[in-house]
Amino acid sequence: MMRSSKNGNGCLDGVRVLIVEDDPLLLLDLELTLAGAGAEVVGLCQTLQEALQRLDPGDFSIVVLDFRIGAETVSPVARRLADKGVPFVFYTGQPRQEPSLAEWRHCSIVEKPSPPGALISAVRAALAR
């Protein structure tokens, strides 16, 4: 069942989202935010390995990625998504100027914490590209 909320008013209806986030509370918050905007959350991954395994088959429209999962970055996941032409958005506590993010400067980067509307707007923009 999809819900609409004041955060997104159904602007993501029909969008299938995979979320990669290692913090369980942020994972839940992201799931509720995106579902509240009408998206269907099709998977939740808390480790890099889970995310890599979940990429095949790709039954999602877009992926929301925390840049750091424990001590690792999600760059291997982002590279595979880019190779497949699947849009993604980074939702990260890393500042945009972080050297490890240099490879991804052209991508949507939403810095934590941010209001739900910022993430929803970034997802919509990434889907429109």
pLDDT (tens digit per residue) in 43-72: 999 999 999 999 977 789 999 999 999 999
Mean pLDDT (whole number) for 96-121? 90
Mean pLDDT (whole number) for 20-42? 96
Angle, helices 24-36/116-128, rounded to nearest 10 degrees: 70
- Measure CA 71 to chain center: 18
Q: What domains, with CATH codes, occur in the chain?
A: 16-114 (3.40.50.2300)
What global pTM score does this model have?
Answer: 0.90
Taking alpha carbons only, the member of 5, 110, 13, 109 closest to residue 61 is: 13
Interatomic CA distance for residues 127 and 116, integer angstroms: 17
Residues forming a β-bridge with 19: 44, 64
User: Biggest alpha carbon distance in the chain?
Assistant: 41
